[in-house]
Amino acid sequence: MAIVSAKEMLFKASKQKYAVGAFNITSLVQMEAIIEAAVEKNTPVIIQTSVTPTKFLKAEVVVAIFKALAQSVNIPVCLHLDHCTDVEFCKKCADLGYTNIMFDGSHLNFEENVKRTREVSDYCHQIGDISVEGELGTVSGVEDQIKVAEDDAQLCDPDKSLEFVERSGIDLFGPAIGTAHGIYQTENPVIDFERLGKIFQKLNQPLIQTPLVVHGGTGLSEPVVRNLIEKGGAKYNVSTNLKYILMDSTFEYISAHPKEYDPGKMDKHVKMATKQRIEYWIDLLGSTGMAM
Ligand code: 13P
């Protein structure tokens, strides 16, 4: 029950109008905190690694620790490779045991994006129950050192979304709708809810077929988050917020205990801070109690 692919988990979320938190990690303390918080909240959850931390930690190590943690709990948990632009690395992570793979071809032209995403989809579907996420349009901001300026970002064309999904063979779809990775430069970012709603209608009416992913989850107000879920967002990505919690809580601990030199105590403090924040997100996304 514990380790699943995201598709099924997100079908239920799409139908019942809540979102599953997809949390990016850069350290294993964060992975433990997320799983513990999800168990306490009895929620499904997705752990994500972008390419740089996956390579730094080593994909084999991430998968081994993920399996050890996830197999011992009774909630559905996924391991997702986030924003990978390299087809071969996608395949490698699928081989090693990631349950979801995102091929990010949003920087490519439409045909090339379809072609490379299709290669990843076919590979993942052939080797097992592995979901594939694709993106159309570009999300601005910085994710994993990849910077997309606001003027370069283009929103996803709803009329193209169905063609993209059908031809690329993906299971989950991340349309660009005005959200951005990193910290928003303005207090009221312009989010195109109507566009998200239209894409949801095209892909998921009358039957849920391709759950939608919201990228750029940090820094949006609670009403905005609820509206994104109402319009069809079923996987909600949070990265930057967790990086801030990790670094701020580390700094806080060291500043308060400058002479202690006991990293275990510092890890415990960071884990608690991360866990509290994950619990906040789980409640906001409405997935509390939805594990079964
Ligand atoms: P944030 O950096 O806004 O949290 O976005 C995360 C994300 O979308 C990862 O794919």
DSSP labels for 215-253? Answer: ---TT--HHHHHHHHHTTEEEEEE-HHHHHHHHHHHHHH
- The C-alpha atoms of residue 24 and residue 190 are separated, in whole angstroms, by 24
User: In this predicted structure, what is the pLDDT of residue 270?
Assistant: 98
Summarize the confidence of residues 251-256 as an average pLDDT.
98
Q: What is the pLDDT of residues 223-232, one digit of tens each?
A: 999 999 999 9
**Closest listed residue to residue 276, CA positions, set 253, 242, 239:** 242
Q: How many CA atoms lie within 13 A of 243 on its CB side?
A: 19
Which residues are part of the catalytic machinery? 82
Q: Is 100 close to ligand 1, i.e. is its CB under 6 Å away?
A: no
Q: Is 174 close to ligand 1, i.e. is its CB under 6 Å away?
A: no
- The C-alpha atoms of residue 91 and residue 119 are separated, in whole angstroms, by 9
Rounded to two decimals, what is the model's pTM?
0.96
Summarize the confidence of residues 266-290 as an average pLDDT.
98
CB 33 within 8 A of CB 275: yes
Q: How many CA atoms lie within 13 A of 193 on its CB side?
A: 10
Q: Is 26 close to ligand 1, i.e. is its CB under 6 Å away?
A: no
11 SS3 class: helix
Q: How many CA atoms lie within 13 A of 64 on its CB side?
A: 5
Q: Is 82 close to ligand 1, i.e. is its CB under 6 Å away?
A: yes
In this prediction, residue 148 has a pLDDT band, given cuts at 50, 70 and 90, of low
DSSP secondary-structure letter at 3? B
Q: Is 217 close to ligand 1, i.e. is its CB under 6 Å away?
A: yes
Considering only CA atoms, which residue is closest to atom 5 of ligand 1? 216
Q: Which of 32-41, 145-154, 172-181 has the highest mean pLDDT?
A: 32-41
The architecture in CATH of the region 6-285 reads: Alpha-Beta Barrel (3.20)
CB 40 within 8 A of CB 280: no
Averaged confidence pLDDT in the chain = 94
- The C-alpha atoms of residue 168 and residue 105 are separated, in whole angstroms, by 11
Q: Is 104 close to ligand 1, i.e. is its CB under 6 Å away?
A: no
The residue count of the chain comes to: 292
Considering only CA atoms, which residue is closest to atom 8 of ligand 1? 215
- The C-alpha atoms of residue 87 and residue 84 are separated, in whole angstroms, by 8
Instruction: Report the residue among 218, 241, 243, 244 best suited for mutation to probe ligand 1: largest number of ligand atoms under 8 A from its CB.
Output: 218
Query: 101 has which bridge partners?
Result: 81, 132
List CB contacts of 2: < 8 A, sequence separation 6 or more.
Answer: 70, 71, 72, 73, 74, 75, 76, 77
**Closest listed residue to residue 50, CA positions, set 181, 186, 184:** 181
Nearest atom, ligand 1, residue 179 CA: 3
Cβ neighbour number for residue 74 with a 10 Å cutoff: 11
What distance in angstroms lies between residue 241's CA and the mean position of ligand 1's atoms?
8
Q: What is the pLDDT of residues 73-86, one digit of tens each?
A: 999 999 999 999 99
- The C-alpha atoms of residue 221 and residue 188 are separated, in whole angstroms, by 9
Inform me whether the pLDDT recorded for 182 exceeds 60.
yes
Amino acid at 94: A
- The C-alpha atoms of residue 240 and residue 111 are separated, in whole angstroms, by 31
Instruction: Report the residue among 104, 181, 278 best suited for mutation to probe ligand 1: largest number of ligand atoms under 8 A from its CB.
Output: 181
